[in-house]
C-alpha cells in the first residue's frame, strides 16, 4: 500500500505505454524522426524520405510518416494518433492497429509522391486521416461504444482537409500541405473501416 501523498508506483505515462504499446511506439518513432529532421536533415531525408521499390529500400515507403517538420507538426499528429489509435488498439488489438498504420502509411505516402513528384514530405497526418475514416465507417456499420467517433471530429477534420486544398492555409503557414496523403489516407481508412465493420457485423450474427 502506498504511503499517503506518495506518488503511484506506475505513473500515467507508464500505464498508457503498457495499455497502448503500438500508439506509444509510433509517437516515440515520430519524436525520433522529428529530432532527426531538426538536427541532421540530410540523413533524415537521405535515408528515410520516400522511395519507390526501384532501389530496394522498401522501408522508405513507410518511414516518411515518422518525419516531422517542427514541434507543432509533431504535437498535432501525436495528439490525434493518441486519441484515435488508442481506441482501435484497445478494441481490436495492437497487431491490428500496427497493420492498419503500415498499410495506410504506405498508401498515403505513395499517393503523395504520385501527386507531387517530390520525396521530401513527411508526417503522420495521412495515417491520422486513415484512422478517422476507419472509425467513422466502422461506427456506422458496426456501432460499438469503443468505435464511436463524435460527428464534430469528422466534420472538423474533413473541413480542414478541404480548406487545406485551397491556397489559404499554405499562404498563412508558409509551407506546403500533403493533401494527397491526407485524402488517400481518409479513403483508405474508410475502405478498411467498411471491411472490418462488415466482418464485425457478420461475426456478431454468428454468435
First to last CA, the chain: 42
Measured CA to CA in angstroms, residue 29 lies from 24, 48, 123 at distances of: 9, 12, 11
CB distance 91 to 147 below 8 Å: yes
Residues 6 or more apart whose CB falls under 8 angstroms from that of 49 comprise 60, 63, 64, 67, 119, 120, 121, 122
Measured from the Cβ of residue 76, the count of other Cβ atoms closer than 10 Å reads 16
* Residues designated as active site: 125, 182
CB distance 157 to 132 below 8 Å: yes
Amino acid at each position: 500500500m502506498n504511503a499517503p501523498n506518495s506518488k503511484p508506483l506506475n505513473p500515467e505515462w507508464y500505464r498508457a505505454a503498457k495499455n497502448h504499446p503500438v500508439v506509444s511506439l509510433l509517437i516515440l518513432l515520430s519524436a525520433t524522426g522529428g529530432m532527426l529532421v531538426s538536427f541532421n536533415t540530410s540523413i533524415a531525408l537521405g535515408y528515410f524520405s520516400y522511395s519507390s521499390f526501384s532501389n530496394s529500400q522498401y522501408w522508405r515507403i513507410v518511414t516518411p510518416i515518422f518525419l516531422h517538420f517542427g514541434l507543432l507538426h509533431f504535437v498535432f499528429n501525436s495528439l490525434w494518433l493518441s486519441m484515435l489509435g488508442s481506441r482501435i488498439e484497445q478494441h481490436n488489438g495492437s497487431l491490428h492497429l500496427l497493420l492498419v498504420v503500415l498499410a495506410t502509411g504506405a498508401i498515403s505516402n505513395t499517393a503523395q509522391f504520385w501527386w507531387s513528384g517530390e520525396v521530401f514530405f513527411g508526417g503522420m497526418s495521412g495515417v491520422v486521416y486513415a484512422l478517422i475514416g476507419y472509425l467513422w465507417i466502422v461506427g456506422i456499420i458496426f456501432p460499438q461504444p469503443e468505435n464511436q467517433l463524435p460527428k464534430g471530429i469528422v466534420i472538423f477534420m474533413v473541413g480542414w482537409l478541404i480548406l487545406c486544398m485551397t491556397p489559404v492555409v499554405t499562404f498563412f503557414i508558409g509551407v506546403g500541405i500533403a493533401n494527397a496523403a491526407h485524402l488517400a489516407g481518409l479513403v483508405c481508412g474508410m475502405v478498411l473501416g467498411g471491411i472490418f465493420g462488415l466482418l464485425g457485423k457478420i461475426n456478431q450474427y454468428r454468435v
